[in-house]
Chains A and B, each alone.
Chain A
């Protein structure tokens, strides 16, 4: 341990350490920034292709925050990201719409629900209930909709369903206002 413990030396030392640390972080950020962006885009592209299997590319509409899957330059539908608080933390969902407003399907991008219970929202038996639903049917069965909740994980199921429905309504509202 250093012997010079009085005066300004500790302050200067700590400041120096902080500067070095900032420099190291700036450098790391510069190296990884593009990679991280790329990884996120890859992730979205991978999920889009499971919703729109015939797509051969996609564009991102920045103004409306929409992903537009394309096949031979023709749009196949629309997709966007919905977020809703689940049982623990935010669930982030990729919502795919047909060219009309029926649901193409959903994919879970990020969730931290209880393993073994709420985390089952990523499994296909739950997700396969969504394709083809009209906006008003995206509710849990007991609330008059057409989606069965996962046993023991009503909160997580409900969060997904409500998040998707609200996001679609909001998005359609937003698009309706602009055109």
Chain B
């Protein structure tokens, strides 16, 4: 149980995929324009990561080393397509707003990275812990970034169609640049600097 907790906690801060490992920044930059997207993407991402870590750790002793990467990619691509079809069928509104970014999870290097670096070398229990930890790490990073971008970029906070509040003075004149890709770079850059300054350092 000790190693389960350790593997779980590691992904949340110490090897946070976004702020420490700096992996998967492409989907993070692209999707973090609204809180809805961040939540939807994090859930879809965590489902795929969890399933891929479980499957890969189960077959880890049988995968021939030479074809391991193609095997991982086929498994991940299959899982992503399943999630994509499920979303289109059962939650069409979310599928519409995440649009092309769901298929992009296939090339999200966090998932392939965890498959190669962790799930292919560790037991299924530990891989589940790792997937949950990394998933939560990704989720809070996404939510933090999209919260800042949405507040500054639209001047108000909406969650799943419900209006929560308007930022005084920004509601009418939002800083639209924060919704554009460069705004995402600003936000991530400042957050990274902040975390480094606070002394959260790389630690695998």
Contacts and interface: CB of A to CB of B under 8 A. Distances in A.
Contacts of A18: 74
B64 A36 contact: no
Contacts of B34: 115
Q: What class of interface size applies to chain A in its complex with B?
A: 20 to 34
Contact of A13 (B67, B120, B180): B67
A5 B65 contact: yes
Interface stretch (B9-17, B19-27, B88-96): B88-96
Given A1-B120, A35-B90, A36-B88, A28 B63 contact: no
Contacts of B120: 1
Contacts of A21: 74-75, 77-78
A110 B174 CA distance: 24
Contact of A2 (B64, B78, B92, B96): B64
Nearest to B150: A115
B61 interface: yes
A43 interface: yes
Given A18-B74, A115-B153, A10 B82 contact: no
A64 interface: no
Contacts of B86: 28, 32
Interface string A31-48: 111011001101100000
Nearest to A40: B92
A114 B179 CA distance: 8
Interface residues of B, number: 35
Interface string B146-169: 000000011000000000000000
A35 to B, nearest CB: 3
A32 B81 CA distance: 12
Interface string A10-34: 1101100110010011001101110
A125 interface: no
Contacts of B67: 10-11, 13-14
Nearest to B153: A116
Contact of B99 (A35, A40, A112): A112
Nearest to A20: B78
A41 B151 CA distance: 34
Contacts of B153: 115-116
Contacts of B176: 115-117
Interface in B48-90: 60-68, 70-71, 74-75, 77-78, 81-82, 85-86, 88-90
Contacts of B99: 112
Contact of B78 (A1, A4, A25): A25
B117 interface: no
Contacts of B92: 36, 39-40, 42-43
A39 B89 contact: yes
A31 B85 CA distance: 9
B70 to A, nearest CB: 6
A116 B89 contact: no
Of all A-B residue pairs in the complex, the 7 with the closest CB atoms, nearest first, are A35-B89, A32-B89, A116-B176, A10-B64, A39-B92, A21-B78, A115-B179
Interface of B: 33-34, 60-68, 70-71, 74-75, 77-78, 81-82, 85-86, 88-90, 92, 96, 99-100, 120, 153-154, 174, 176, 179-180
